[in-house]
């Protein structure tokens, strides 16, 4: 199923790096899941699911996805719909629970302030919690048409301050343990920046 998904995604132009983002988040999920000490099979499943966590963004208009600057409230509402859109697509295609949970819940927050359902604490599936941390790290580190990248240190500082509110505080030590490996993904970030400069 995962291979089918990847093949299908090739038919859609990846103008704003959804695939690159998904791929890097997936690599980060592998690293963080290893630091947590999850079983080998679980690590693979979490990483595969992260590979398509933002697939629903393909249903959001490019104007909104690539808008430089802050989104208006209606635009933000439309953007938030990518979680449900991705979930519905993966559900129809027969993906299993880990994929569905990751697509639907990767923007839920530990304190209940996230979306789409405002889930709290351990009601948020672990696969979505892990993806969420890696998602934010990648988003901070990456260069996009609407923002510059943060350094590894800057991104880590921001994320560390979010454990207990956005992220599960019990995952903090595992995030810290994973950081040397996170930092090694620098080359991917640089490759992305260079690719964008050469467009």
Residues 115-174 that bind Fe ion (CB under 5 A): 135
Strand pairing partners for 167?
163
Judged by CB under 5 A, the number of residues near Fe ion is 2
CA 131/CA 78 separation, integer angstroms: 21
Q: How far apart are CB 185 and Fe ion at their closest, in Å?
A: 15
CA diameter of the chain: 44
- The site map against Fe ion for 88-117 (x = CB under 5 A) is ------------------------------
Positive or negative: CA dihedral 76, 78, 13, 107: positive
CA distances to 29, 52, 159 from 48, in Å: 9, 7, 23
State which of residues 54, 108, 127, 192 lies at the interface with Fe ion (CB under 5 A): 54
Instruction: Decide if 85 contacts 39 (C-beta within 8 A).
Output: no
Residues contributing to the site for Fe ion (CB under 5 A): 54, 135
């Amino acid at each position: 199923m995962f291979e089918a998904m990847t093949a299908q995604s090739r038919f859609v132009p990846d103008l704003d790096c959804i695939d690159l983002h998904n791929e890097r988040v997936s690599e980060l999920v592998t690293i963080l899941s290893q630091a947590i000490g999850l079983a080998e099979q679980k690590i693979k499943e979490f990483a595969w699911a992260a590979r398509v966590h933002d697939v629903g963004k393909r249903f959001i208009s490019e104007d909104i996805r690539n808008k430089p600057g802050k989104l208006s409230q209606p635009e933000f509402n439309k953007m938030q719909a990518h979680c449900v859109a991705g979930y519905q697509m993966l559900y129809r295609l027969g993906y299993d629970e880990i994929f569905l949970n990751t697509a639907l819940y990767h923007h839920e927050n530990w304190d209940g302030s996230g979306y789409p359902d405002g889930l709290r604490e351990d009601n948020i599936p672990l696969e979505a919690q892990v993806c969420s941390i890696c998602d934010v790290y990648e988003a901070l580190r990456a260069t996009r048409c609407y923002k510059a990248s943060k350094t590894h240190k800057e991104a880590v500082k921001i994320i560390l301050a979010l454990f207990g509110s956005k992220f599960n505080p019990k995952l903090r030590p595992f995030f810290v343990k994973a950081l040397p490996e996170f930092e090694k993904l620098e080359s991917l970030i640089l490759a992305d920046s260079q690719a964008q400069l050469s467009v």
